[in-house]
A and B are shown apart, each in its own frame.
Chain A
């Protein structure tokens, strides 16, 4: 994915996934909210599913990133290896610098 001048974050940036408390068709799972991770990859721009789900099609496309988190940061009692990780897709407006 080529660099996007309008993307807020770049691979390697530390980010916090915030809890916007937004009801409805949101794609940010509860288990990653308020967790800190690293931008793994910029995925391009996609329509916001929080709009699309309600028939508002064709609106502004927003940056999407893959964010990498350490399993130990997600689950304090994680039983697997120290190096284990999880990656998921988070839209720009759910991320803050950390």
Chain B
């Protein structure tokens, strides 16, 4: 099973009996900084599975650690670089909308998920990404998703009341603009290509990339204004 598909399994709910950190022995492979609160059923199951995989010799602790290192190589700045280049280079933008992975490769960024789809914001449409079933996210490009992206509240509300969710992020989308929600529920992974902000004419690719935050790439925000504005 690829690391990508294991995304699906980590965040599902399970109705197993609670295990208490204080009641049993210290877990052999801790995932948390401290061991002073009750484990959730999901955490307990995760720890038990991880411990078993190591004890049975199917994985080593070092392999797990290395996988975390690989996950940590992704960073929102890689997505921001793609956006800034697309703003400056219409031919690159066209290639990026056609094949996100190939466009990333042009910039030396290796996207390891099956497919990367770039969704373009337009004056008529604002796009928002969510994974309702778990927390699918283009990790190899952007790194680990923020906690709110993984939360049940975001995952359930983004499809049900996206405009209210966006308002809570500080983004009021006018009623004349369509909000299109993309549920990343299967094999594709998504980033949003935001509109280039006004007042950014003549800015360098690097300066433009600095305006594009992680939240912009999920559709929860719009690119910032230049520092001088």
Selected contact of A31 from candidates B159, B180, B182, CB within 8 Å: B159
Residues of B within 8 A of A91 (CB): 186
B5 touches A53 (CB 8 A): yes
B181 touches A85 (CB 8 A): yes
With contact pairs A43-B188, A44-B115 given, residues A79 and B183 touching in the complex (Cβ less than 8 Å): no
B186 touches A27 (CB 8 A): yes
Question: Using an 8 Å CB-CB cutoff, how does the interface string of A19-61 with B read, 1 for contact, 0 for none?
Answer: 0000001011101000000000001101001001101010000
B interface, over-half SS: mixed
Question: Using an 8 Å CB-CB cutoff, how does the interface string of B181-213 with A read, 1 for contact, 0 for none?
Answer: 111111110000000000000000000000000
Residues of B within 8 A of A52 (CB): 1, 5
Q: How many A residues, CB 8 Å from partner?
A: 31
**B178 part of interface (Cβ distance < 8 Å):** yes
Residues of A within 8 A of B114 (CB): 46
Selected contact of A53 from candidates B8, B115, B162, CB within 8 Å: B8
Q: Give chain B nearest CB distance to A60 CB in angstroms.
A: 15
**A84 part of interface (Cβ distance < 8 Å):** yes
Q: How many B residues, CB 8 Å from partner?
A: 28
A27–B9 Cα gap in the complex (Å)?
Answer: 12
Q: Give chain B nearest CB distance to A28 CB in angstroms.
A: 8
A87 touches B162 (CB 8 A): no
A75–B180 Cα gap in the complex (Å)?
Answer: 14
Give 15 A-B contacts (CB < 8 Å), ordered by A residue: A27-B186, A29-B183, A31-B160, A52-B5, A53-B5, A53-B9, A55-B1, A57-B1, A79-B161, A79-B164, A81-B175, A86-B180, A87-B183, A88-B185, A88-B186
